[in-house]
Amino acid sequence: MRVVGIRGFLVGFAPDPALGNASAVIRRRDFLLLQLIGEDGSAGWGEVFASPFAASAFVRARLAPLILGRSSRDLGRLYHDMVATLGYDRRGAAMMAISAVDMALHDLAARSQGMSVAQMLGGGLRDRLLAYASGPFIAERGAPYDAYPREVEALLRRGFRAIKPRVGIAPRQDGLAMRAMRRQVGPDIALMVDINQGYTVGAAIESARRMEEAELLWIEEPLQPEDVGGYRQVARAARCAIAGGEALASLAAFRDFLQAQTFSVLQPDLTVCGGFTGLRRVAALADAFDVPVIPHVFGTTVNAHAALQAAALLTARRGGGPMPYPFIEIDATPNPLLTLLGPMDPRSDGTIAVPDAPGIGIDLDPQRLEPWITDHWRLGAA
């Protein structure tokens, strides 16, 4: 299937209430949604969530000339050609642009063959994944964790059996909040926390110690994303698993963290590390270290459905939760770009099905994006 057109949609919204974590208050969420058009009119979708504006410019200037007129089935060759354009920017917006194009190429190539991406890549190892709620978030005003009991109860009613709140205000408060949450949910609900790069090494170790009674599956991103030495210290001191990797883009970065024995759970993001091609390379590397891979997902319906396809292909490993890894992360906040095609709440058993429809499993009409479009462009016959 030749690619004859490319469309870029910069979309975004202001979350209400704003989303607080240990490092920032998120008042605006912006994304690039990339649509590749095939010669028969079919479309494949990709996404950037971290640097959408810079990635959009890179697609237009450097990647589009490589892609237009080429077959979407030449996935390996196209990925190689795109990576050859990177120059110095191997861990930033340029790699995110490649990620979006690679994701869209896989979606388009699978659609042209009438199969899901997981089927095209050899067949999924599972047809459902345990969904974990990404939330609650820290309150901007008042006591930061006071609303957690009410918000957690709402997540349980939605069917979640695994919950990942944000912490990182102070070690003592983290411990109090998570011990209370464990008492609230009981022993059978999986709990993890995300510190969003908010602590120094000493604070991260102290927070982990104070949260031990909560029996966490993992503590996510306690430090800045490339602090290999700091993560090694925290991993050696903490009794529960340390997770991370969403901010890593290059295979070399993942290699460095795995060699240093920092992460017990690896979390590459399809929109950052190179799309399906990049994530599969990271997963193969992780397999050599016997480390489980769980895709990081915090964006629109495009990355969420792409991550379901990718997670279906990953090696199963037991991490102590209700089901073996991999799980699938679900943004539990009000996100109209995630629920464009309907809610993504789990079924009664706490799982979400992996779609077996062609491509990543969704048909997204660009008109649905109109309320959230801030800019758009088109190249070729799009």
Q: How does pLDDT run across 236-262, given as a tens digit for each residue?
A: 999 999 999 999 999 999 999 999 999
128 shares a domain with 63? no
In angstroms, the CA 14 to CA 60 distance is 26
Is 197's pLDDT higher than 90? Answer: yes
236 shares a domain with 207? yes
Question: What total of structural domains would you count in the chain?
Answer: 2
CA distances from 120 to 2, 239, 359 (A): 17, 40, 9
336 shares a domain with 189? yes
Is 315's pLDDT higher than 90? Answer: yes
Question: CB–CB of 78/67 below 8 Å?
Answer: yes
319 shares a domain with 266? yes
If you count DSSP H runs as helices and E runs as strands, how many of each does the chain have, helices first?
A: 12, 15
193 shares a domain with 126? yes
> 38: domain CATH number?
3.30.390.10
204 shares a domain with 179? yes
**CA 62, 65, 70 angle in degrees (round to 5)?**
130
> 212: domain CATH number?
3.20.20.120
47 shares a domain with 92? yes
292 shares a domain with 216? yes
Is 382's pLDDT higher than 80? Answer: no
177 shares a domain with 53? no
User: Would the pTM of this model clear 0.95, i.e. be above it?
Assistant: yes
In angstroms, the CA 38 to CA 106 distance is 12
293 shares a domain with 161? yes
213 shares a domain with 91? no
185 shares a domain with 172? yes
pLDDT value at residue 220: 98
Structural domain including 344 reads: 119-353
In angstroms, the CA 149 to CA 154 distance is 9
Residue 77 CB coordination number (10 Å): 11
